[in-house]
Amino acid sequence: MPRKKFVAGNWKMNTTLAEAKALGSAIAQGVGSSSKVDVAVCPPFPWLVSVSEVLKGSSVALGAQDVHNEAKGAFTGEVSTGMLKEAGCKYVIVGHSERRHILGESDLTVHLKLHAAVEAGMHVILCVGETLVERERNLAERVFQRQVYSALAGITDEQWPLIVIAYEPVWAIGTGRTATPEQAQLAHLFIRSKLQSMHGEKIANALPILYGGSVTPETAGGLFSQPDVDGGLVGGASLKADQFLAIVKAAGA
Ligand code: PEP
């Protein structure tokens, strides 16, 4: 069965409450109640409940940008899977490069967060990708192979349908420098072939692999036409409804 395309918007630490509601409404209206493409938006934590309200009646799902692996307790500033689910989240992003590289998240932290999320029944967007230095040193494949293996070790048969991978080369995030469709395809094919050798063809073929890194309405079509690119995780361009909707359209909506 062909994989359904998926486009998710990562709003990062942007928007006021009013802007978040307006952006969510415009996206919900543009996508409508059914779509050939799966769509999600990931607003900042404080706006999740309000954005969930404006998405009602549309097929746009709500996601969070991070989660803590513990269910509750003395973890000042953190947010649990239970809280995210109660706020209306279906998805959670785990291992975004800004958390790995700016906030120092390790592979182990990413593994624990991902497992907590799937154990709670949430869908996870696992971000992996190499830095520019790693690419220049020919280490790119080794890096994202390690990130994929360590995060997904121990995933059960029932949990695989909850996993989405986003290949996001760090040098392409927020820089305006997008990977070429060929570079993206090569990386996605590599990840899929490693998944296949570890977990079998069925799991590897069913798992969506998104591309992220300066996706725009202009670059989306070329990227999404690649056989192993199943959509995009979009940062900057997800903050403008018309741009985000154009990217959703490029995915086949
Ligand atoms: C991201 O934050 O995941 C991302 C891909 O950002 P941008 O589209 O701005 O590069």
Distance from C-alpha of 46 to C-alpha of 243, rounded to nearest angstrom: 24
Closest to 117 in 3D by CA, of 137, 139, 91, 99: 91
Candidate of 103, 233, 239 to mutate for ligand 1, largest count of ligand atoms within 8 Å of Cβ: 233
Query: Quick count: other Cβ atoms within 10 Å of Cβ 68?
Result: 19
Provide mean pLDDT across the span 97-113: 97
Q: Is the pLDDT of residue 2 over 90?
A: no
Ligand 1 binding pocket includes 174 (Cβ within 6 Å):
yes
Residue 34 has a pLDDT of 86
- Please report which confidence band the pLDDT of residue 174 belongs to, taking 50, 70 and 90 as the band edges: confident
What six digits make up the tokens of 88? 């209306």
Q: Is the CB of 168 under 6 A from ligand 1?
A: yes
Contacts of 142 (CB under 8 A, 6+ apart): none
Distance in angstroms (rounded) separating the CA atoms of residues 179 and 213: 7
Please write the tens of the pLDDT for every residue from 10-43: 999 999 999 999 999 999 999 999 889 999 999 9
pLDDT in tens, 37-60: 999 999 999 999 999 999 999 999
User: What is the mean predicted confidence (pLDDT) over 107-114?
Assistant: 98
Residue 212: strand pairing partners: 233
What local confidence, expressed as pLDDT, does residue 132 receive?
94
Residue written as token pair 């932290």 = 109
Mutation probe of ligand 1 site: the residue of 13, 214, 218, 229 with most atoms within 8 A of C-beta:
214
The verdict on pTM exceeding 0.95 is yes
Q: Which of 6, 7, 10, 244 to mutate to test the pocket of ligand 1 (most atoms within 8 A of CB)?
A: 10
Q: Assess whether pLDDT exceeds 90 at residue 212.
A: yes
Q: What is the pLDDT of residues 113-154, one digit of tens each?
A: 999 999 999 999 999 999 999 999 999 999 999 999 999 999
Query: What is the CA(74)–ligand 1 centre distance, in A?
Result: 31
pLDDT in the model for residue 246: 98
Residue 103 CA, distance from chain mean position: 18
Ordered by where they begin, the domains of the chain are 6-251 (3.20.20.70)
Atom of ligand 1 nearest to the CA of 238: 8
Nearest CA to ligand 1 atom 2: 235
Whether 24 is in the pocket of ligand 1, judged by its Cβ within 6 Å, is no
pLDDT band (50, 70, 90) for residue 3: very high
At residue 152, the pLDDT reads: 97
Could you tell me if the CB of 63 is within 6 A of ligand 1?
no
Ligand 1: which atom is nearest the Cα of residue 175? 10
- What is the pLDDT, as a whole number, of residue 124? 98
- Look at residue 1 and tell me whether its pLDDT is greater than 80: no
